[in-house]
Structures are given as structure tokens and as C-alpha cells.
Amino acid sequence: MEANSLSERVRHAMARIDAAAQRIEAAANAPRPASGPGSDPELEARYAELQREAGEALQQIDRLIGTLER
């Protein structure tokens, strides 16, 4: 594989990662639905789990980017 092709693929991957991170950040900063009467505890638990998983994914992406920058 040519160096230019590899470089272009890395740039494209980095752009996609950046876009995904921005979407995740926007979702994380979006107002949460009010809890209280009529709230859904199961949905809230799933939401918390998804937030945890997104945080872990972002940490993995950050580590991967760190290895690409070396």
C-alpha cells in the first residue's frame, strides 16, 4: 500500500472519529428528560450504561490516536 493511500485512510478515519466524538459529546450535553412521576427506571439504567460505554469507547479511541501520533 502506498504511503499516500495509507495517509489518506488515516486522515479519513481520524475525521470519522472526530465526527463521532462530536456527536457523542452533543448527546452527552443534551438536556436529560426530567425524572419523577412517570419516569422509566429501566430506560434510565440503559441510558447510564450507554453513557458508561460511550466513555470507555472514547478512552479507547484516545489511546488509539495516541499510538498513531507516535
Q: For each of the chain's 70 residues, which pLDDT tens digit applies?
A: 577 888 888 888 888 888 988 888 888 888 876 666 557 888 888 988 999 999 999 889 888 888 887 6
At position 56, the amino acid (one-letter code) is E
For the chain, domain boundaries:
3-32+39-69
Please give the Cα distance from 45 to 48 (Å, whole number): 5
Provide the grid cell at 40: 422509566
Please give the Cα distance from 60 to 36 (Å, whole number): 35
**pTM score above 0.85:** no
Predicted local distance difference test score (pLDDT) of residue 50: 92
Provide the grid cell at 13: 478515519
